Amino acid sequence: MQLIEDTIGEYFEKQVAVDPDHEFIVYPDRNLRFTYGQFDERVNDLAKGLLAIGIGKGDHVGIWARNVPDWLTFMFATAKIGAVLVTVNTSYRSHEVEYVLKQSDMKALAIIDRFRDVDYLQVIYELIPELRKSERGRLRSKDFPHLKSIIYVGQEKHRGMYNTNELMLLGSHSPDDELREIMGTVRSDDVVNMQYTSGTTGFPKGVMLTHKNILNNGLSIGDRQKFTHEDRLCLPVPLFHCFGIVLGVMAILTHRATLVMLEIFDPLLVLAAVQKEKCTALYGVPTMFIAEYTHPMFDMFDMSSLRTGIMAGSTCPVEAMKKVVDDMHCYQITSVYGLTEASPGMTQTTVDDPLELRVETVGKSFPGVEVCVMDPDTGEILPPDTVGELCCRGYNVMKGYYKMPEATKQAIDERGWLHSGDLGTCDENGYYRITGRIKDMIIRGGENIYPREIEEFLHVMPGIRDAQVVGIPDEKYGEIVGAFVILEEGVDLAEEDIRDYAISKIARYKVPKHIFIVDEYPLTASGKIQKYRLRDLAVELSEKSKN
């Protein structure tokens, strides 16, 4: 495979030069449209504005926002000036945002006003009380010494913050010389993006991804769907994940195609966007596709323009795949397997694969990516049709976890293999199947949740002596979170009290759906907690609660 050696900024400008008038981004519900040329101008203005307020090469710039139009302006602007875009999960609350702000050494953070029931402005003012009295760009925070600027994504003015309009105006009056000079120093092996993935240690880890990582992965992903400049992708998944940035934006960029964006997922808006913009491709996790084809108004929309797309993020139910093919016209739907640390794709089915293989497997490895099935105990590479851990190595492997060298060594062995923690097989024709997990992870509707992170969070709640978290099978989400809690002696806490405490502090998707207050845990002879028995008990108790 001939790897792209350009940076994202260089590559984007090459695509602009080919056809500046081709549509790049469309927001159908706002009737907002940017051609490649128009968007490049906007990106350059923001890039120069960021330089003017002291953001430069190597600086970490966070973005905490739903898929608003300027989310991608920040992504491309930071890429051009060699800064690192730190993506913050829109569901995060104060506890998680505080951690990411500190751990990432963030110099600037771009935010919107709110998302669902979380008031982002209030969270930021509470975490950084100095902001209200601070001169813009000159923040001095006791708790966040690296943080200098908060940027509001929008037109409104907020105390202590710049807004995007001001930065773009500033940039539009700045000469191009400094931007051109700094772009010349950015390399494809530089980190361009940092995404936080839940940690087995209880602490999320910042995955460092380079221009080369994500551009080349996007190229392969688009190739497997046979994208051309005529394709129009409806993208309702969040941009803060690799699903949005790489499978979506990078696949479109490398094929000079068009992105049809949605700010948030809403099945009705997806159906309307596909019909209005005659989309040829559609992405989503299984629960999204199910919500679309089961929507009571589904039959009112014309889906006949659809051809391909990706269903990924969690195990794809066979029946859901068939429905998407038959009822939604996605007769060339594909699936991708990977993890954030692999930028994220390791394998993908192709549009030419028989439906049976597209439904039952996650396809073959990408060009330039070695994938193997390894014995987790011995490190031996296993023969076909033998269950082992899926591992990969190649251009797509992350640079590492930010400031976590030991965790990086655990993930990438001395031979360069990235260990996925997932179990699978490979048949004689090179098709991979996922069979289970080694790591103790819950996947709820495409979101990865590590029990340890929630256990450590629950441990800090007054009155809780111990907490054990497990995944419970669920028809809608694949899995949901369940927690077994032992209380301190004499403490009177109800399940609702624990849930309310969690809802106020951590992302809602991590909050245990079921909480079981118990006196003890099932133990092995050596005193270890038997999680599999807790999982079985959780299933039994949650079933009882339904009846």
User: 3-state SS of 23-86?
Assistant: EEEEECCCCEEEEHHHHHHHHHHHHHHHHHCCCCCCCEEEEECCCCHHHHHHHHHHHHHCCEEE
CA distance 320 to 293: 9
Cis peptide before 354 (omega within 30 of 0): no
Q: Which two tokens stand for residue 142?
A: 């006791």
pLDDT of residue 543: 84
Q: What is the pLDDT of residue 275?
A: 98
With contact defined as beta carbons under 8 Å apart, do 196 and 203 qualify? no
Tokens in use for 241? 């994940």
Q: Which amino acid is at 338?
A: G
Do the beta carbons of residue 172 and residue 52 sit within 8 Å? no
Which amino acid, 300? M
Kind of pairing, strands 149-152 and 108-111?
A: parallel
**pLDDT score at 526:** 47
**What integer pLDDT is reported at residue 200 of this predicted model?**
52
Contact yes or no for 501/461 (Cβ under 8 A): yes
CA dist., res. 153 & res. 127, Å (int): 19
Compute the distance between CA of residue 221 and CA of residue 271 in angstroms, rounded to an integer.
23
Helix (H) or strand (E) holding 182: helix 177-183
How far from the centroid of its chain's Cα atoms is residue 87's Cα?
A: 8
What string of pLDDT tens digits covers the 547 residues of the chain?
Answer: 799 999 999 999 999 999 999 999 999 999 999 999 999 999 999 999 999 999 999 999 999 999 999 999 999 999 999 999 999 999 899 999 999 999 999 999 999 999 999 999 999 999 999 999 999 999 999 999 999 999 999 999 999 999 999 999 999 999 999 999 999 999 999 999 999 987 555 678 999 999 999 999 999 999 999 999 999 999 999 999 999 999 999 999 999 999 999 999 999 999 999 999 999 999 998 888 988 999 999 999 999 999 999 998 766 777 788 899 999 999 999 999 999 999 999 999 999 999 999 988 999 999 999 999 999 889 999 999 999 999 999 999 999 999 999 999 999 999 999 999 888 999 999 999 988 777 777 889 888 888 878 988 898 899 998 888 999 999 889 899 999 999 988 999 999 999 999 999 999 999 999 999 999 888 755 455 778 788 889 998 888 877 6
Domains of the chain as residue ranges with CATH = 8-18+34-188 (3.40.50.980), 207-437 (3.40.50.12780), 442-546 (3.30.300.30)
Instruction: Determine the Cα–Cα distance for residues 248 and 182; give it in Å rounded to an integer.
Output: 27
Residue with tokens 């907020």: 158
Q: From its phi and psi, is residue 363 left (phi > 0), alpha (psi between -120 and 50) or beta?
A: left
How far is residue 506 CA from its own chain's centroid? Answer: 17
